[in-house]
């Protein structure tokens, strides 16, 4: 069994980004990321802090717009409109989830597609489905980058993705399809989940339920990518896979933490850099 070390790869990627940012600096460009955080959810705050720190490490300018829980949708949309016009901002990211009174789709659709570094705008989602260049959501992008780094063949493989959200499962399925894998997307309504997971050469899980994936439902020598993040009562961070019992059966497996999490941040930085490189033709 080999560990898919997302932490180490993310570090390599950050080092490369830092060098590219220095080159852009010489051309008078500092890549800029604006993050909008609504409300005081501790998990969201912690993710936003991690993103801001990663920007700082790599020389990307970042600014966080903190807004109260009861913010009116119109004010949020005005902030996005202002950021869309700001020539120093290359990427705009709205930390999800948003409060219930806000229409998340309307907010995501307000972001200019060329600044949509989270890749959640339907424009970029559509481009992924059509296998065209665009912004790929950071978590699915990080998963594919990690697998490719370890030279894991995707073409022709049976890939099962458990969890079918717009931000993780669905785009991840589309990316695997673009790599010529055969994909199965499972979700809460899937009947007999084990029937599918047992057939997976590559099993990716993005649900948020610790120990959902046990060793009896994983194929021998499977590649297992654990995307889930849950905080246990004792403070430990775990994924969706029963790691101690599943890992001996795998050919490759991601740890939690230290697997997909750091790759997500690195991918966001890559997207911001990509947006900055396109800047001269945009303004």
Least distance to ligand NAD from the beta carbon of 280, Å? 31
Active site residue 155: no
The burial class, CB within 10 Å (0-12 / 13-18 / 19+), for 123 is: middle
Least distance to ligand NAD from the beta carbon of 44, Å? 11
Contacts 24+ apart (CB under 8 A), 207-213: 207/162, 207/163, 207/240, 208/163, 208/240, 209/240, 210/238, 210/239, 210/240, 211/240, 211/241, 211/242, 212/162, 212/240, 212/241, 213/162, 213/240, 213/241, 213/242, 213/246
Annotated catalytic residue, options 5, 90, 118, 242? 118
H or E stretch including 73?
A: helix 73-85
Looking at the Cβ atoms of 24 and 238, the one nearer to ligand NAD is 238
Active site residue 73: no
Active site residue 95: yes
Strands 230-231 and 237-238: antiparallel
Least distance to ligand NAD from the beta carbon of 19, Å? 24
Least distance to ligand NAD from the beta carbon of 206, Å? 4
H or E stretch including 252?
A: strand 252-253
Looking at the Cβ atoms of 46 and 180, the one nearer to ligand NAD is 46
Looking at the Cβ atoms of 179 and 226, the one nearer to ligand NAD is 226
Provide the binding-site residues for ligand NAD, judged by CB under 6 A: 139, 162-165, 167-169, 186-188, 190, 193, 206-209, 212, 227-230, 260-261, 264
Looking at the Cβ atoms of 80 and 120, the one nearer to ligand NAD is 120
Which residue is nearest to ligand NAD, using beta carbons?
208
Q: Which residues are catalytic?
A: 51, 95, 118
């Amino acid at each position: 069994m080999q560990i898919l070390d997302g932490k180490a790869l993310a570090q390599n990627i950050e080092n490369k980004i830092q060098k590219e940012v220095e080159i852009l600096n010489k051309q008078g460009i500092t890549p800029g990321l604006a993050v909008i955080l609504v409300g005081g959810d501790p998990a969201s705050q912690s993710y936003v802090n991690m993103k801001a720190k990663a920007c700082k490490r790599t020389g990307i300018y970042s600014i966080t717009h903190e807004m109260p829980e009861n913010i009116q949708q119109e004010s949020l949309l005005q902030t996005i409109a202002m950021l869309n016009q700001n020539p120093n901002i290359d990427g705009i990211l709205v930390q999800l989830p948003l409060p219930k009174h806000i229409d998340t789709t309307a907010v995501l659709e307000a972001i200019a597609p060329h600044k949509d570094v989270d890749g959640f705008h339907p424009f970029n989602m559509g481009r992924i489905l059509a296998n065209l260049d665009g912004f790929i959501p950071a978590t699915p992008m990080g998963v594919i980058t990690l697998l490719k780094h370890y030279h894991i063949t995707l073409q022709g493989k049976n890939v099962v993705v458990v969890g079918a959200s717009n931000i993780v499962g669905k785009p991840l399925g589309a990316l695997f399809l673009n790599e010529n894998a055969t994909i199965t997307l499972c979700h809460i309504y899937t009947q007999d989940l084990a029937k599918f997971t047992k057939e997976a050469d590559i099993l990716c899980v993005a649900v948020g339920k610790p120990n959902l994936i046990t060793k009896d439902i994983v194929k021998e020598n499977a590649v297992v990518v654990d995307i889930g993040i849950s905080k246990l009562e004792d403070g430990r961070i775990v994924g969706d896979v029963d790691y101690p019992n599943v890992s001996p059966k795998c050919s490759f497996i991601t740890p939690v933490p230290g697997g997909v999490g750091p790759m997500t941040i690195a991918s966001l930085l890559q997207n911001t850099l990509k947006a900055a490189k396109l800047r001269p033709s945009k303004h």
